[in-house]
Amino acid sequence: PERLRRINRAEQGQICGKNNAMWSCFDYARRALETIIDVAPVTCTLVGPPDYLGRALGVCTVAGKNVNEAFVRSGFALAKRDESLDYVAAEEAAKAEGLGLWGSEFQHPAEFRASEGILIDRP
């Protein structure tokens, strides 16, 4: 698939802050995803029809673990609650532990896209 289904990740150019220090949310999110998938071959399954832009959406697994859920559980991606409640528990756990984005001040990726005039939803 071209995109992980039912999640929202930090956008390129998005900045987070913690204790007056700024850092690239996107770069850290990319590294978190790389860490998740670098352990074994990744298998992805297309789920449902393409999105409104024709992009294939899917759920991926690595070493028996759901990549989409693990990415949300890392705190560097958020559950797309408007589409599904599948990853809400993983998001709540990451939030409770202050992992990833939840350990800083950040703008929700959808809000960041809107503030930057990015009209394309990027799961």
pLDDT over 90 (residue 31): yes
pLDDT band at 118 (very low <50, low <70, confident <90, very high): confident
Residue-level pLDDT at 25: 92
- pLDDT score at 75: 96
Summarize the confidence of residues 99-107 as an average pLDDT.
94
The more confidently predicted of residues 62 and 18 is: 62
Contacts 24+ apart (CB under 8 A), 27-36: 28/76, 28/100, 29/76, 29/77, 29/100, 29/101, 32/71, 32/74, 32/75, 32/76, 32/100, 33/9, 33/67, 33/71, 33/74, 33/76, 33/77, 35/74, 36/62, 36/65, 36/67, 36/70, 36/71, 36/74
* Mean pLDDT over the full length of the chain: 90
Q: Lowest-confidence range among 19-23, 60-64, 76-80?
A: 19-23
Residue 122 predicted with pLDDT over 70? no
In angstroms, the CA 41 to CA 9 distance is 22
- Confidence at residue 53, expressed as pLDDT on a 0 to 100 scale: 81
